[in-house]
Amino acid sequence: MTVTVTSLWRHPIKAVGRESVDNVKLIAGQTMPGDRIWAVAHEASKANDLEWSRCVGFVRAASSPLLMAVEARTEGDLLHLTHPNRPSISVNPDRDEAALIEWLSPLIAEGRAAPKRIVRAPRGRGMTDTSDPSLTLGSTKSHRIVEARAGRSLSMHRWRCNIWVDGLAPWEEFDLVGQRFRLGTAELEAYKRIDRCEATAANPETGRRDADLLSILEHYGHTDFTVGLRVVTDGTIALGDTLVMA
């Protein structure tokens, strides 16, 4: 069966917003360009611009689910953000830190550390959840299995995945771990399964927790969804590209 790229997504600010793209030029050893360029450090964080930091140092949907409903659109050096509970805003996170912090503050759950400052990821890598510069690949059929178990439609944005493909059997993406393959002109290596957290419980349209996806995954013997990828060889991936084993 042919395995085809159905959508590509980047998340300019870690845990805040998502944006679709039609194609992306990948560079070996780096994350997806434009993905998790910035992160929002909270008042108890020691994160800085010089090195990768763990997600616990940043505001995130696992503890503040309203963040899941942010959508993003990049236009030049501006990032346009929308949310059902907030007025739209256009900012450059590098220079509009105060405005962005003010906009995000009402979306942080009561009792959680308040957003304090914007951190820019080191050049060539986003503030992904993995210490290695990585992307994630998800299977639409695995998502449909989770939907079937839940008994209703679920947004794929709960997983905040970079590359979605169709054509793999449910959970077959896990068999890619340890293997190399090509998408478009880029060569990638799947190197790990991605363990999931409470962020997946939040509805990306409302920002409200309304589904226990971790319990659904546990029914299948794990709490993993998507696989982490390393870029081995530079290349471009576009919608409709097919997966070819190396």
| 167-186 pLDDT, tens digit each | 999 999 999 999 999 999 99
Among candidate residues 146, 128, 139, 214, the one with its CA nearest the CA of residue 175? 139
Confidence of residue 1 (pLDDT cuts 50, 70, 90): confident
Question: What CA–CA distances, in Å, run from 230 to 26, 50, 120, 227?
Answer: 10, 21, 21, 10
Whole-angstrom Cα distance, residue 203 to residue 154? 8
Whole-angstrom Cα distance, residue 135 to residue 120? 18
Confidence of residue 61 (pLDDT cuts 50, 70, 90): very high
Residue 50 confidence (pLDDT) above 90? no
Domains for the chain: give ranges and CATH numbers: 4-245 (2.40.33.20)
